[in-house]
Amino acid sequence: MSDNKMTILAIGGHVGDMELTAGGVLATHALRGDQIVTLALTAGEKGAPADMSLAAYREQKVREAETFAQMLGGRAIVFDYPDGELPDNDTVRYQVCDVIREVKPNVIITHFKNSMHKDHMATHRIVNDARFFAGNPFFERKNPAFFASRLYYAENWEDAVDFKPYIYMDITEGFELWQKAVATHWFVTGSKSFPYLEYYTHLSRVRGIEARKGRAECFAIAPETMKVIKDSL
């Protein structure tokens, strides 16, 4: 991989979270030759179809994560924590820290701070701390310290309270690949609780219009990093 290639690590509370909310960006960067890694802290198995056990659906969700990543030429990692029971502790933080140090991402994408899902909010806190742990050499782990310089929070209808788009990313190039890859997740096309594919497809067009592009995905960033520095007007 040449020096100008990027590695993007997308970390969700459940399999499918990042594939839906940041999948267009992931697909677009994959087509440009960048490395894509997804990490789900739980499989999200408690959204199982009525005729499927949690264990069987968990296995399916892991396969879906792997399929999505493979279609983008990337890699999927799924932790073993049960859906809805993600511990908000340093054990998980160090596990995520270890992934960051192994993967060495230029960019991390994860959940915004507010959500209707406890796993999403826990993931936000875990990732922010894990990024700090990963970048500090005095936290001794298997791999040497690595600091991911950019951290983005994805736009998610479930994480919408106080979310304000700050960065618009043109995903026109990767939109078709994203649609094909994300449709391999059962809940995206089969769930009766919410029209996921329709919602995020239309949202990408709305954000694209706002950005004067064909399709776009939006991200928030930490308030302390909202700086525009210029030498002149």
Angle, helices 175-182 vs 196-210, to 10°: value is 160
Question: What pairing do the DSSP bridges indicate for beta strands 35-42 and 7-14?
Answer: parallel
- Does residue 116 register a pLDDT over 60? yes
Q: For the chain, give the mean pLDDT.
A: 96
Looking at per-residue confidence, does 36 or 192 come out higher? Answer: 36
- Does residue 228 register a pLDDT over 90? no
Band (1; pLDDT cuts 50, 70, 90): very low
7-225: CATH homologous superfamily?
A: LmbE-like (3.40.50.10320)
Tens of pLDDT along 59-93? 999 999 999 999 999 999 999 999 999 999 999 99
Band (2; pLDDT cuts 50, 70, 90): very low
Band (4; pLDDT cuts 50, 70, 90): confident
Domain map (residue ranges) of the chain: 7-225
Tens of pLDDT along 146-202? 999 999 999 999 999 999 999 999 999 999 999 999 999 999 999 999 999 999 999
Asked if residue 83 lies in contact with residue 121, where contact means CB atoms within 8 angstroms, the answer is no
Q: What is the pLDDT of residue 3?
A: 60
Q: What is the pLDDT of residue 21?
A: 98
Average pLDDT over residues 121-132: 98
Angle, helices 175-182 vs 54-71, to 10°: value is 160
The neighbour count for residue 98, using CB atoms within 10 Å, is 16
